[in-house]
Amino acid sequence: MCGLLGLVCPSEMDAAAARSAVGAAMRCQRHRGPDESGTWTGGEAVFGFNRLSMIDIEHSHQPLPWGPPESPERYTLLFNGEIYNYLELRAELTQRFGARFTTDGDSETIVAAYHYLGEEAVTRLRGMFAFLIWDGQKQVLFGARDPFGIKPLFYAAGPGGVAFSSEKKSILELTGLIGVNQELDRRALQHYLTLQYVPEPATLHTKIHRIESGTSFTLTPGEEPVTKRYWAPRFTPKPVGGPADAEALYSRIADVMSDSVRMHMRADVTVGSFLSGGIDSTAIAALAREHNPDLITFTTGFERQGYSEIDVAAESAAAIGVKHVVKTVSAQEMMDALALIVWYLDDPVADPALVPLWFIAREARKHVKVVLSGEGADELFGGYTIYREPISLAPFERVPGALRRVMGKVSTKIPEGTRGKDLLRRGALSLEERYYGNARIFRDDQLEKVLRTFNPAVSHKDITAGPYRDSVGWDPVTRMQHVDLYTWLRGDILVKADKMTMANSLELRVPFLDPEVFKVAAGVPLEQKITRETTKFALRQALRKVVPAHVLNRRKLGFPVPIRLWLREEMYDWARDIVMTSQTDALIDKNAVLRLLEEHKSGTLDHSRRIWALLVFMLWHGIFIERRITPVIPEPHYPVKL
């Protein structure tokens, strides 16, 4: 787990200047790899690396040279992530091709597989990764990002070259060198205020993009990357017959999850686990304890009743027999830390849950260097409460289209906050119109009152059209899962998981997001995912021997953060000050934002999520555009090395 930075420039570049620029740009992502740093220059490529060592700590230094016996330094690798099947893949490459390795780590496995298997090597990697391989013989760069988008990879291309990095802020340091501007992307801003995150492949800078999940690319100096999607998720639900078939399905799920956790425990350092009050993290922790009886788990919460899973998590920790560490977060701590957290994010993500995640990651790093977590279970096995919406909206499907449109118009006349208004509005819409992920921040009619640059031609359908087109004929719930894999999962869930843990030099691993787990999850039929009583039905049944009874059928809480209450009380003055001092007048109508804040404070309406999205953007703008806000970036310092 590390931070990479690669620069490919035309042959006339000043190598010394480029290497100096890369070295300087690496400093702002030092938190991703404080253990050691290195740079390398070869031909038209300059590589920089910050390492957080997990496997083969004494070796596997990067940038890593590798090659066959006749050309031992043909390739140079930058790699962020972990390959969990590296031992098996090394053995195969040795047996089939006589591959030779000089380290005991997973990094060499990637470049060796590329040499012997070509671009298809990326399909053999079981893990999370973003990597660059420079072929010094052909003067070509090859790279890829893992199937689900667990690890990030940004890039920008200009007349002076192409830069790749684990963090966008490092590329911002190189824009002058490669000749690209730092213009704000107004389309991406509108998507952010709708979705809560900036959807891939965009960022909030027009000239900086992301390599998409499940995508590889090649780059010849002087050109732009040529991308290729090597993996696309496909759900293939298989009918379950009688009880015997159902039990066989549960057994397959239990077996593949046990195997995935076992693989994800591979490390030469201490591995802990996050633990909330839900089934996902509890199952991961319980399975992890089978491999490490001294497992430490970590949870966070708040002192307000109804906004914390601390008690449930503590009960779970006692039930599975692990040491447990708790961090309680206050409103003041959130206010004090938010600007720094936004700096770590690179692009705004308006998910309040990422703030306590940053705090618990900081606490965990005092004890361990790696944690397991339960991200991905909801998308794979049908865990979100909103996935039950097709059941509640089923009666609307029987209403003729013309009448449904009338219902939609009627809903616009009902006052905001009236019970049933949103149900009527959503019931009048098709699935493609109403569902674009778990977070619904601003509707268009709300956004045009706040966003001065509102463009009615920009729609969430710009983002969801592809996943919906590829899932025609599937049941509504599976289509929603498919949309979430391309949007919500990689735009919100995995961004906050990566950024908040790496901000604290802590590696986070997600056993649910494993290709072998997906193969099993893809075949789960609708009735084994969603029922009128619960979600993730098959997963709950599969893990009933592992997960304590008090968690097994517990309603999903979704890690709520009490901003609804805090923005009326402790956070009100703080929020108002952010709005008043922000220099976003050309983009945001401050008076409209202040009206939202006052309506929220009075209790008239709940605008908390919309206000939070605007506050996060205003802080981001103050840091990256205005350069008015300069968070104090702490030097990485952690008592635990192993």
pLDDT digits (tens, 9 = 90+) for 177-203: 999 999 999 999 999 999 999 999 999
Separation between Cα atoms, residue 516 and residue 521, nearest integer Å = 9
Q: Where are the beta strands (DSSP E) in 368-422?
A: 370-372
pLDDT digits (tens, 9 = 90+) for 281-295: 999 999 999 999 999
Find residue 78's DSSP bridge partners.
132
Q: Is 587 within a domain?
A: yes
State the CATH number of the domain containing residue 74: 3.60.20.10
CA atoms within 13 A on the CB side of 82: 23
179: alpha, beta or left? (left if phi > 0; alpha if psi -120 to 50): left
Mean pLDDT value across residues 576-601? 98
Q: What percent of the chain has pLDDT over 70?
A: 97
The residue type found at 49 is F
Same domain, 572 and 430: no
The pLDDT assigned to 1 comes to: 60
Contacts of range 453-459, beta carbons closer than 8 Å, 24 or more positions apart:
453/186, 453/189, 453/190, 453/586, 453/587, 454/190, 455/186, 455/187, 455/190, 458/187, 458/190, 458/191
Same domain, 417 and 357: no
Q: Is 557 within a domain?
A: no
Across 274-288, 295-309, 400-414, 625-639, which has the greatest mean pLDDT? 274-288
Same domain, 478 and 585: no
CB-based burial label for 100 (10 Å; 0-12, 13-18, 19+): middle
Same domain, 481 and 493: no
pLDDT digits (tens, 9 = 90+) for 308-348: 788 889 999 999 999 999 999 999 999 999 999 999 999 99
Same domain, 481 and 543: no
The pLDDT assigned to 475 comes to: 95
Q: 641 pLDDT exceeds 60?
A: no
Domain limits for position 500? 243-383+488-552
Of residues 57 and 109, more confidence is placed in: 109
Separation between Cα atoms, residue 518 and residue 516, nearest integer Å = 5
Same domain, 493 and 455: no
State the CATH number of the domain containing residue 500: 3.40.50.620
pTM over 0.75: yes
Q: In sequence order, what DSSP letters do the residues of 62-110 get, joined into one string?
A: SSEEE--TTSTTSEEEEEEEEETTHHHHHHHHHHHH----SSSSSHHHH
Among residues 280, 301, 463, which one has the least CA distance to residue 372?
280
The pLDDT assigned to 373 comes to: 97
* Furthest-apart CA atoms within the chain: distance in Å: 76
What DSSP element (H or E) covers 38?
strand 36-42
Q: 32 pLDDT exceeds 60?
A: yes
Same domain, 515 and 481: no
Same domain, 468 and 522: no
Q: Is 416 within a domain?
A: yes
Same domain, 471 and 498: no
Same domain, 286 and 354: yes
* Chosen domain end from 485, 509, 528: 485
Residues annotated as catalytic are 2
Q: Is 637 within a domain?
A: no
* Chosen domain end from 552, 574, 604: 552
Alpha carbon distances (Å) from 357 to 32, 342, 552:
16, 13, 23
Q: Is 641 within a domain?
A: no
* Chosen domain end from 453, 485, 517: 485
Same domain, 395 and 521: no
Considering only 32-36, 234-238, 578-582, which range has the smallest mean pLDDT?
32-36
Given a contact cutoff of 8 angstroms between Cβ atoms, the answer to whether 451 and 587 are in contact is: yes
The pLDDT assigned to 12 comes to: 67
Mean pLDDT value across residues 266-278? 90
Q: Is 342 within a domain?
A: yes
pLDDT digits (tens, 9 = 90+) for 490-507: 999 999 999 999 999 999
The pLDDT assigned to 557 comes to: 60
Q: Is 51 within a domain?
A: yes
Separation between Cα atoms, residue 612 and residue 587, nearest integer Å = 16
The pLDDT assigned to 413 comes to: 79
Q: What is the mean pLDDT of the chain?
A: 93
Given a contact cutoff of 8 angstroms between Cβ atoms, the answer to whether 351 and 492 are in contact is: yes
Same domain, 18 and 75: yes
CB-based burial label for 13 (10 Å; 0-12, 13-18, 19+): buried
Q: Is 45 within a domain?
A: yes
Number of domains in the chain: 4
